[in-house]
């Protein structure tokens, strides 16, 4: 990808200009500095996507510069490549010990340089992407837990449903993106409960008709809550349809069989098994084995037989997960 900013720190004028021209011809934006101090000044204005630095320089050498860069949180993840004429093993060892990712020994070929830069940038993109995903997931869990807290007796329900759903998802062969959507969906499945009064959520006796109707609206309310958020749109099928049942007896749309989104059929099983085990104001939780048998007994009636098969295969891992919280 072109347009990334590369900071070149090199005291040799000829080499610095040469590198600048080379990187520009490859489509990068090159920013240059003759030593560490100058480089730090430049970084105050342009945070580079990657740093290419000589070691031996006046004023502030490469190692001191490296330490300065790594001491700031905002700069910690910038890929850093040392460019050096020295071949001494001690030097390279010193750099490695400091955590320097790459070492290019001058004279370096164009191909060597561009390949190293490209792979470093790509790796960094992947890391940032993963970090971002994790940050999203943790904020979602925080939100979902805040909602679940209002629902007495369901502590950690969200995490358990997510973990159980992912175990089933992997069992049916799902990968990356599908698992991620399933994760967001399972975390947020009950987000619509935020609109249900605590007096209903925590009612120790059976709900009356009006209260049931209110409770049954949580999938659609959940859809309303997330529909404007681009990266959560894929969670909508789970939020909307996790109470649909294979035989058409569920809500809110009364979908049946394969008309129910697959991810929602998975979360239906994960949510049900956890709900059966949970002790709530109106219900004493059952033992995991009892819940397991109940899911199996309802295969082809309430639950998708294919999902139940995967649930069965993943049961040892699911049981272990359920016991983690019980302990």
Q: Which residues bind Fe ion (CB under 5 A)?
A: 190, 271
Burial class (CB in 10 A: 0-12, 13-18, 19+), 68: middle
Please say which residue, 31 or 196, places its beta carbon nearer to Fe ion.
196
Decide if 182 contacts 168 (C-beta within 8 A): no
Q: Which of 106, 175, 193, 206 is catalytic?
A: 193
State the minimum distance, in angstroms, from the CB of residue 192 to Fe ion.
Answer: 8
Please say which residue, 175 or 206, places its beta carbon nearer to Fe ion.
206
Supply 126's token pair.
């992947």
Active site residue 42: no
Bridge-partner residues for 275, per DSSP?
none
Q: What are phi and psi of 296, to 5 degrees?
A: -60, -40
Please say which residue, 179 or 220, places its beta carbon nearer to Fe ion.
220
Residue 97: count of CB within 10 angstroms of its CB: 8
State the minimum distance, in angstroms, from the CB of residue 163 to Fe ion.
Answer: 13
Contacts 24+ apart (CB under 8 A), 83-90: 83/10, 83/52, 83/53, 83/54, 83/55, 83/108, 84/54, 84/55, 84/56, 85/56, 86/55, 86/56
State the minimum distance, in angstroms, from the CB of residue 108 to Fe ion.
Answer: 57
State the minimum distance, in angstroms, from the CB of residue 218 to Fe ion.
Answer: 6
- DSSP class per residue in 44-83: HH---SEEEEESS-SSS-HHHHHHHHHTSGGGTTS-EEEE
Please say which residue, 163 or 271, places its beta carbon nearer to Fe ion.
271
State the minimum distance, in angstroms, from the CB of residue 266 to Fe ion.
Answer: 13
Q: Residue 50's closest CA among 109, 104, 108? A: 104
Please say which residue, 4 or 271, places its beta carbon nearer to Fe ion.
271
Cite the active site residues: 193
């Amino acid at each position: 990808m072109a347009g990334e900013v590369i900071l070149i720190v090199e005291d040799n004028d000829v080499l610095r200009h040469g590198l600048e021209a080379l990187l520009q011809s490859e489509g990068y934006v090159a920013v240059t500095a003759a030593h560490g101090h100058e480089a730090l000044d430049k970084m105050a204005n342009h945070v580079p996507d990657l740093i290419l630095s000589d070691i031996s320089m006046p004023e502030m050498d490469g190692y001191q510069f490296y330490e300065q860069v790594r001491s700031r949180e905002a700069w910690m993840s910038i890929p850093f490549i040392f460019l050096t004429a020295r071949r001494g093993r001690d030097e390279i060892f010193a750099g490695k010990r400091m955590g320097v990712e790459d070492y290019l020994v001058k004279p370096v070929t164009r191909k060597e340089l561009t390949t190293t830069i490209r792979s470093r940038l790509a790796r960094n993109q992947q890391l940032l992407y993963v970090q971002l995903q994790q940050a999203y997931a943790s904020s979602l869990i925080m939100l979902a837990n805040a909602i679940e807290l209002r629902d007495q007796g369901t502590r950690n329900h969200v995490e358990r449903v997510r973990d159980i759903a992912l175990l089933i998802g992997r069992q049916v062969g799902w990968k990356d993106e599908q698992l991620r959507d399933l994760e967001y969906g399972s975390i947020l499945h009950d987000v619509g409960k935020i609109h249900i009064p605590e007096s209903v959520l925590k009612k120790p006796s059976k709900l009356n008709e009006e209260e049931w109707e209110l409770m049954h609206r949580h999938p659609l309310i959940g859809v309303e809550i997330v529909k404007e958020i681009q990266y959560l749109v894929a969670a909508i099928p789970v939020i909307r349809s996790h109470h649909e049942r294979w035989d058409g007896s569920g809500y809110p749309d009364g979908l049946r069989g394969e008309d129910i989104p697959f991810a929602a059929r998975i979360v239906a099983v994960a949510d049900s098994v956890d709900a059966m085990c949970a002790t709530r104001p109106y219900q004493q939780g059952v033992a995991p084995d009892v819940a397991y048998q109940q899911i199996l007994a309802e295969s082809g009636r309430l639950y998708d037989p294919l999902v139940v098969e995967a649930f069965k295969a993943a049961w040892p891992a699911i049981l272990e997960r359920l016991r983690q919280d019980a302990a």
